[in-house]
Amino acid sequence: MVTNLNGKIVFITGASSGIGEACALACAAAGANIIMAARRSEKLQKLAVRIQAEFKAQTLSLQLDITDPVAVSEAFAALPHEWSNIDILINNAGVALTKDHLNETSITDIHTMINTNLNGLIYVTKCVLPNMLDKNNGHIINIGSTAGHIPYAGGSIYCATKAAIIAFSDALKKDLLGTALRVSHISPGMVKTELSIVRFKGDQAKADAVYANTDPLLAVDIAETVLFCITRPAHVNISEITVYPTTQVSPAIVHRRNMS
Ligand code: NAP
C-alpha cells in the first residue's frame, strides 16, 4: 500500500526558498500539513498564504536558525500539541558560501557551512527522533548533494559537509534497524535555486553563470523525488537517490550549449 500523506505532519527545514519551498508545496498538494522552518519569516508567511489558498493544507511557520542548538530544542519543546506528532522530517536547509579555495575561505564561512549543513541537521534530527521512536513510525529525508560523493576544488567545506551527511544517514539507518523508522538520503546535482546567489554573496552575474547555456534541475524535480520516497509502502525504504540534470554527469562536468 502506497503511504498516504493525508493529515500527516511534515517538518521541513529551509522551507523559505528553493527545494524546501517546493517540498512544502508538493507535500501540501498531497494532503500533508506542514511545519515550515527557516530564518526569513516573511517568506514563510507568504508561502503559508499560498498553501492555504491552493491546497487548504494547514501550516505552522517557525522562524528558526538551525545552527543554534538551544533555539532548535526550544522550538520543538514549544510546538503546539497538535503539531508535535511529526511523521516526516525533511532535513533540507543548507548553504554553500564560497567557490574559493580553502586558503581564501573565511573561518566565518567555514563555521556557517558546517553549523548549518551538518550540525543543524543533526540538532533537528535529534529533536524529532524521540517522538518517532515512541510511536515507532517516521521518515527522515536528508538532502545531501552530489558534492558529497564527488568533491571539487573550491568546495572543500561544502563537499565535506555533504560527505558527512552520507555517513550520518548511513549510521542513523543502522541505529534504527529493528524499528519501523526510515532514513533516505537524496543527492541532487545542479538545481536552479537561491543557492548560487547566496554562494556568491549577491553577485547576480556569477550566480547566473552557473546556470548559463544549460538546463539545470528545478526545485520541483527534487520535491517530486522526496515525494516518491515518502509515499512508498511502510516496508520500503529508498535508501539513496542521486539526481542529475541530463546535462550534468558530475558536479564539475556540465554540458553547455555553444552560443557562438
Ligand atoms: P536555497 O534556495 O538557497 O535554500 C536554502 C534554504 O536553507 C533556505 O530556505 C534558507 O532559509 C535555509 N537556511 C539556510 N541557513 C539556515 C539556517 N541557519 N537555519 C534555517 N534555515 C536555513 O537553496 P536550495 O538549493 O534549495 O538548497 C536546499 C538544499 O539542497 C541545501 O541543503 C543544498 O545544499 C542542497 N543542494 C542544492 C543544490 C543546488 O544546486 N541548488 C544541489 C545539491 C544539493 P533562510 O535563509 O530563510 O533561513
Residues 6+ apart with CB under 8 A from 191: 18, 19, 216, 217, 218, 219, 221, 222
1 confidence band (pLDDT: 50, 70, 90): low
Q: Which atom of ligand 1 is nearest to the CA of 13?
A: 21
Give the pLDDT confidence score for residue 4 in this predicted structure. 82
- 236 in a domain, yes or no? yes
Average pLDDT rounded to a whole number, residues 133-162: 98
3-state secondary structure of 186: strand
- For the stretch 24-76, pLDDT in tens is 999 999 999 999 999 999 999 999 999 999 999 999 999 999 999 999 999 99
Per-residue DSSP letters for 101-136?
-GGGS-HHHHHHHIIIIIIIHHHHHHHHHHHHHHHT
User: What's the CA-to-centroid distance between 220 and ligand 1, angstroms?
Assistant: 14
Q: Is 190 in the pocket of ligand 1 (CB under 6 A)?
A: yes
CA distance 55 to 29: 6
State how beta strands 139-143 and 88-91 pair.
parallel
- For the stretch 78-129, pLDDT in tens is 999 999 999 999 999 999 999 999 999 999 999 999 999 999 999 999 999 9
Query: Which residue intervals of 40-199 are DSSP H helices?
Result: 41-55, 69-77, 107-113, 121-135, 156-175, 195-199
- 3 in a domain, yes or no? no
Residues 6+ apart with CB under 8 A from 127: 72, 73, 75, 76
- 4 in a domain, yes or no? no
- For the stretch 153-179, pLDDT in tens is 999 999 999 999 999 999 999 999 999
Four-CA torsion 201, 206, 209, 210, nearest 10 degrees: -40
Domain extent at residue 192: 9-253
- 258 in a domain, yes or no? no
Which CATH number goes with the domain that contains 27? 3.40.50.720
CA distance 49 to 56: 10
User: What's the CA-to-centroid distance between 181 and ligand 1, angstroms?
Assistant: 25
Sequence letter at residue 157 = I
- 169 in a domain, yes or no? yes
How many domains is the chain partitioned into structurally? 1
Give the pLDDT confidence score for residue 149 in this predicted structure. 98
Q: Is 14 in the pocket of ligand 1 (CB under 6 A)?
A: yes
- 1 in a domain, yes or no? no
Residues 6+ apart with CB under 8 A from 173: 183, 237, 239
